[in-house]
């Protein structure tokens, strides 16, 4: 006869509902401390760690022998009685009555005080650490809440190809791929293939990787990052900014409300996230340049706003900041002309608080096929290559806007992480493609 056991999670124990009761747990040996007549095991599962104690007198001899010989990361099942105990991390201890080692781990290569390089070389093992586990669970919430918000607003989730034949943003940052003897690229943005889809569905989004062959070795650059791209018909520049404010606030609140334990363990105050609410601050590009100049930063109208200037603009503020109406020369050809200042497009970058820098880029899109052709000619690109993209402006061209959220950057900001690679399971940077 097979006896079916109901396993609970560590979190259920730590929440206090099982004090004095017998429970069944399963997971990995996070830490182990061996004494003469007892072995203390910190048991880990996705929900947390709990102290368990295996006393020689309480279990069978062979079970105790197993406990004495097992190493960290061994896989175990445990049955025992929960006891409130102030000395134990989390306030509870499980006194083991029965336990089995399902897999004896080999000597785990990760020990305390190892270099970041070593930990990243062992990312496949390091991700079971409490910090990475918590971060990945927050990441899940961010992805899920974006979908939840957008679907709730009537958007359809769709997909686009990763192999493309045209550039979307900076030509210099394209990854070339050999494609049956032809040169193609890994996509830098899904926008070009998303816009045609709004003619079918009006409100659409894609959550997919974008690839950038940027040689920037900064804390904010990945070569493969996760990009949430949104396109909305019947939506102008104002509507586009409102959409971004609502989406970002929704994601921040979802993390604050649904990932309390993880935030606590990561030492992030949820108030930081609950404080994110519309309206965000706004400033035109021209005002931004003036502000930077007054602050002693060497910059002139027409220059890109690089990290130093971006940091300066928000360093005193806890609010997100939209910078609007950038010059045409430093932005992309598909953006809508700004009639109030023809040197500029109706676009925006969203900068994170306290000097964090850009997390979203967006714009109203140009609806006039000829203006897009003119823009391409002006920057020396060949409109023929974009025929399909321009075509959508020939058949019922509709006002529309969109934006792209750097999801990894947003998570980095939310959790106050030191480096963007810390928020993604297997980061890809200029210097890392392993494991
Ligand atoms: O500003 P970007 O280049 O805009 C676009 O690609 C538009 N086509 C998006 C759109 O309108 N659909 O990129 C959008 C965002 C940036 O604001 C930034 O947060 C993130 O993508 N991003 C990166 N994140 C991590 N590593 C990189 N190398 C990134 N490059 C851009
Ligand atoms: Mg940008």
Q: Are 191 and 99 in the same domain?
A: no
Would 112 be classed as within a structural domain? no
Q: Are 99 and 147 in the same domain?
A: no
Q: Please name the residue whose Cα sits nearest to atom 23 of ligand 1.
A: 406
- Contact indicator for 297, 309 with CB cutoff of 8 Å: yes
3-state secondary structure of 32: strand
Q: Are 345 and 280 in the same domain?
A: yes
CA of 145 to the centre of ligand 2 (A): 23
Strand pairing partners for 28? Answer: 44, 75
Question: Rounded to an integer, what distance in angstroms lies between the CA atom of residue 351 and that of residue 364?
Answer: 18
- Contact indicator for 140, 188 with CB cutoff of 8 Å: no
Q: Please name the residue whose Cα sits nearest to atom 21 of ligand 1.
A: 406
Q: Are 50 and 140 in the same domain?
A: no
Candidate from 210, 335, 351 with most ligand 1 atoms within 8 A of CB, to mutate = 210
Would 351 be classed as within a structural domain? yes
3-state secondary structure of 328: helix
Task: Find the ligand nearest to 326 CA.
Answer: 2
User: Residue 29 maps to which CATH number?
Assistant: 2.40.50.140
Tokens standing for 210?
A: 């974008």
Q: Are 141 and 92 in the same domain?
A: no
Domain boundary among 68, 103, 138: 103
Domain boundary among 103, 134, 161: 103
Would 432 be classed as within a structural domain? no
CA of 132 to the centre of ligand 1 (A): 24
**Structural domain boundaries enclosing 80:** 10-103
For 404, phi and psi rounded to 5 degrees?
A: -130, 125
- Calculated CA dihedral for residues 247, 250, 251, 256, nearest 10 degrees: 160
pTM above 0.85, yes or no: yes
Would 435 be classed as within a structural domain? no
State the closest ligand 1 atom to the C-alpha of 403, by its place in the atom list counted from 1: 11
User: Residue 350 maps to which CATH number?
Assistant: 3.30.930.10
Q: Are 314 and 340 in the same domain?
A: yes
Give the total number of structural domains in the chain: 2
Q: Are 214 and 361 in the same domain?
A: yes
Q: Are 258 and 374 in the same domain?
A: yes
Q: Please name the residue whose Cα sits nearest to atom 28 of ligand 1.
A: 221
Helix (H) or strand (E) holding 102: strand 92-103
CB of 365 sitting under 6 A from ligand 1: no
Would 115 be classed as within a structural domain? no
Question: Rounded to an integer, what distance in angstroms lies between the CA atom of residue 79 and that of residue 95?
Answer: 8
Secondary structure letter of residue 215 according to DSSP: -
Question: Rounded to an integer, what distance in angstroms lies between the CA atom of residue 18 and that of residue 82?
Answer: 6
Q: Are 173 and 269 in the same domain?
A: yes
- Contact indicator for 210, 225 with CB cutoff of 8 Å: yes
Tokens standing for 130?
A: 């409490």
Would 429 be classed as within a structural domain? no
Report the 10 Å Cβ neighbour count for 57.
7
Q: Please name the residue whose Cα sits nearest to atom 9 of ligand 1.
A: 404
Domain boundary among 47, 69, 103: 103
CB of 229 sitting under 6 A from ligand 1: yes
Question: Rounded to an integer, what distance in angstroms lies between the CA atom of residue 45 and that of residue 51?
Answer: 12
Q: pLDDT tens digits for the chain (435 residues)?
A: 677 889 999 999 999 999 999 999 999 999 999 999 999 999 999 999 999 999 999 999 999 999 999 999 999 999 999 999 999 989 999 999 999 999 999 999 999 899 999 999 999 999 999 999 999 999 999 999 999 999 999 999 999 999 999 877 777 789 999 999 999 999 999 999 999 999 999 999 999 999 999 888 889 999 999 999 999 999 999 999 999 999 999 999 999 999 999 999 999 999 999 999 999 999 999 999 999 999 999 999 999 999 999 999 999 999 999 999 999 999 999 999 999 999 999 999 999 999 999 999 999 999 999 999 999 999 999 999 999 999 999 999 999 999 999 999 999 999 999 999 999 999 999 999 999
> What pLDDT was estimated at residue 321?
98
Would 75 be classed as within a structural domain? yes
Displacement of CA 360 from its chain's centroid (Å):
13
Q: Are 197 and 289 in the same domain?
A: yes
CB of 406 sitting under 6 A from ligand 1: yes
Q: Are 171 and 297 in the same domain?
A: yes
State the closest ligand 1 atom to the C-alpha of 191, by its place in the atom list counted from 1: 12
CA dihedral over 392, 394, 396, 400, signed as positive or negative: positive
Q: Please name the residue whose Cα sits nearest to atom 11 of ligand 1.
A: 403
Q: Are 298 and 366 in the same domain?
A: yes
């Amino acid at each position: 006869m097979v006896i079916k056991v109901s396993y609970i999670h560590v979190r259920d124990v730590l929440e206090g509902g099982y004090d004095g009761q017998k429970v069944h747990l399963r997971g990995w040996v996070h830490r182990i401390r061996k004494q003469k007549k007892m072995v203390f095991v910190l048991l880990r599962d996705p929900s947390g760690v709990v102290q368990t104690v295996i006393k020689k007198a309480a279990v069978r001899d062979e079970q105790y022998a197993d406990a004495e010989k097992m190493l960290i990361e061994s896989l175990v099942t445990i049955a025992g009685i929960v006891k409130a105990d102030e000395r134990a991390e989390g306030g509870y201890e499980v006194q083991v009555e029965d336990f089995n080692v399902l897999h004896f781990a080999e000597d785990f290569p990760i020990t305390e005080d190892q270099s970041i390089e070593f930990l990243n070389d062992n990312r496949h093992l390091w991700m079971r650490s409490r910090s990475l586990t918590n971060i990945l669970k927050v990441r899940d919430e961010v992805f899920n809440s974006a979908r939840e918000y957008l679907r709730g607003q009537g958007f359809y989730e769709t997909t686009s190809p990763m192999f493309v034949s045209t550039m979307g943003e900076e030509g210099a940052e394209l990854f070339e791929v050999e494609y049956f003897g032809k040169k193609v690229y890994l996509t830098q943005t899904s926008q070009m293939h998303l816009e045609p889809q709004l003619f079918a569905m009006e409100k659409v989004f894609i959550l997919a990787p974008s690839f950038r062959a940027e040689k920037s070795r900064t804390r904010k650059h990945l070569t493969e990052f996760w990009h949430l791209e949104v396109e909305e018909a019947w939506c102008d520049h104002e509507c586009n900014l409102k959409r971004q404010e609502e989406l970002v606030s929704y994601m921040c609140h979802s993390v604050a409300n649904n990932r309390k334990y993880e935030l606590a363990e990561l030492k992030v105050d949820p108030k930081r996230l609950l404080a994110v609410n519309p309206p965000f601050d706004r400033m035109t590009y021209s005002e931004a340049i003036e502000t930077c100049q007054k602050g002693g930063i060497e910059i002139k109208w027409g220059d890109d706003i690089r990290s130093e200037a971006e940091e300066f603009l928000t360093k005193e503020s806890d609010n997100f900041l939209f910078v609007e109406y950038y010059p045409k020369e430093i932005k992309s050809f598909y953006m809508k002309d700004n009639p109030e200042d023809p040197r500029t497009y109706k676009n925006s970058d969203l900068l994170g608080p306290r000097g964090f820098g850009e997390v979203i880029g967006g714009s109203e899109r140009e609806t006039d096929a000829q203006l897009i052709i003119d823009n391409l000619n002006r920057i020396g690109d060949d409109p023929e290559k974009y025929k399909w993209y321009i075509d959508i402006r020939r058949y019922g061209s509709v006002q529309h806007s969109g934006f792209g959220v750097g999801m990894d950057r947003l998570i980095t900001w939310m959790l106050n992480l030191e480096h963007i690679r810390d928020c993604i399971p297997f980061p890809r940077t200029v210097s890392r493609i392993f494991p």
